[in-house]
Amino acid sequence: MALWLTAMHPFYASVTEISHDAGKKELQVSCRIFTDDLENTLKAQYKAPLDLTHPANRKQAEGYVAAYLSQHLVITLDGKNIPLHFIGYRIEEDAVWSFLEAENIPAPKKVQVKNNLLYERHPSQTNMVHVLVGGERKSTKLDNPEDMVVMGF
């Protein structure tokens, strides 16, 4: 898709995939965010130079990404806030894929997601949220300032 490959992209979007693995009793989360948008947001928040593609200090870069995601992506299952463990990130073309997980998670009946990634910097930000539980997939689109979705399974 040409829009994902342009240096200055005309729209602001992220994709968050949340998947429950019943066999492992894990919640697996991945977030895809344009690299330049995430970098600029982290630079502004932490008042520090940052290059996510070639970081001078990988642990520090991962710390910034992990802290930002923990502030702007909150998952609640059946009324319980789920702490997510940041695994890491990788660069794929012009996007950052970040990976998080939670262990010992039974299959939820209700999934609530608060996602306001990049809202503070981009009034036209859209965040796509896909949730997969028990083989059932549900998706929604959150347009800034809308930041909350509740899905039943």
Q: Examine residue 79 and state whether it is found in any structural domain, yes or no.
A: yes
pLDDT of residue 6: 44
End-to-end CA distance of the chain: 32
Q: What is the pLDDT of residue 3?
A: 43
The number of domains in the chain is 1
pLDDT beyond 70 at 8: no
76 within domain boundaries: yes
**Range in 6-10, 54-58, 86-90 with the lowest mean pLDDT:** 6-10
> Percent of the chain having pLDDT more than 70?
93
Residue 110's pLDDT is what?
98
pLDDT given for residue 10 in this prediction: 65
* Mean pLDDT over the full length of the chain: 93
In a domain, 142, yes or no: yes
Domain that holds residue 29: 11-152
With respect to residue 6, please indicate whether it lies within any of the assigned structural domains. Answer: no
Q: Which helix (H) or strand (E) holds 14?
A: strand 13-21
pLDDT higher than 90, residue 152: yes
Q: How many CB atoms lie within 10 A of CB 64?
A: 21
Is 4 a residue whose pLDDT tops 90?
no
Please tell me the predicted confidence (pLDDT) of residue 11: 77
